[in-house]
Amino acid sequence: MADVSGIIIRKAETADAAEMEKIEKTAENYPAWGAREFVKDMANRVSNMFVAEQDGKMTGFINFWIVGGQAQLNGIAVRGEMTKRGIGGLLLKKMLESAKESGCSEAVLEVEETNLPAIRLYSKFGFKKAGTRPKFYDNTGNAVLMRAEI
Ligand SMILES: CC(C)(COP(=O)(O)OP(=O)(O)OC[C@H]1O[C@@H](n2cnc3c(N)ncnc32)[C@H](O)[C@@H]1OP(=O)(O)O)[C@@H](O)C(=O)NCCC(=O)NCCS
């Protein structure tokens, strides 16, 4: 069991966008948004973004929408050297809690079928495969659609 004491999850602010961009760059094959898109999205009323911090340093973020009774995961990333310490789990838990508070009945996401760390993380939190989207990523990689009941 990972020791997650000392890790805090807080709402992201526009000033966080540059560091969030740096974190997504540490992830291989990650469909990066970039700081400008993060800031643009924060102004969207359906947007929810949270960051993980430890000792004042950002270690990860999650970006999702809550719309039409559904939580949709747009992205989750943990700083490369900080993975496998429970941070991704804390961020995903935050999304599911927010979705519940907002009265959502389900959460959905798409993930590249070869991204096993992410698929295992999602499965651990109750997501189940709900379909596939062939050639979803840059018209080459297949996506798995996953869904969790809230
Ligand atoms: C996917 C990602 C967010 C997981 O974050 P993390 O902080 O490492 O996740 P956790 O430490 O909370 O792990 C939770 C569970 O995920 C699974 N997992 C995480 N990393 C794994 C790995 N490298 N291999 C296999 N399973 C893994 C395990 O089931 C783990 O549970 P366990 O520790 O009880 O075995 C992280 O690997 C990442 O940022 N990847 C790059 C970005 C990305 O691909 N995002 C998803 C697409 S949007």
Q: What is the CATH number of the domain that holds 46?
A: 3.40.630.30
Q: Is 1 a member of any domain?
A: no
Residue 36: both structure tokens together: 């400008």
In a domain, residue 142? The reply is yes
Whether residue 2 is contained in a domain is answered as no
| Residue 49 structure tokens | 């973004």
Q: CB under 6 Å to ligand 1: residues?
A: 2, 27, 30, 75-78, 83-89, 111, 115-118, 120-121, 124
Residue 76 Cα, ligand 1 centroid: separation in angstroms? 10
Query: β-strand 47-54 against 70-78: which pairing, if any?
Result: unpaired
Listed in order, strand segments (DSSP E) in 12-140 are 47-54, 57-67, 70-78, 106-112, 128-137
- Cβ contact 52:4 at 8 Å: no
Structural domain range at position 53: 7-149
pLDDT (tens digit, 0 to 9) for every residue of the chain, 150 residues total?
678 899 999 999 999 999 999 999 998 878 899 999 999 999 999 999 999 999 999 999 999 999 999 999 999 999 999 999 999 999 999 999 999 999 999 999 999 999 999 999 999 999 999 999 887 666 678 899 999 999
Is residue 50 situated within a structural domain?
A: yes
> Would residue 95 count as lying in a domain?
yes
pTM of the complete model: 0.96
Residues paired with residue 63 on neighbouring β-strands, in sequence order: 49, 75
Q: How many domains does the chain have?
A: 1
Which residues face 131 on adjacent strands?
Answer: 145
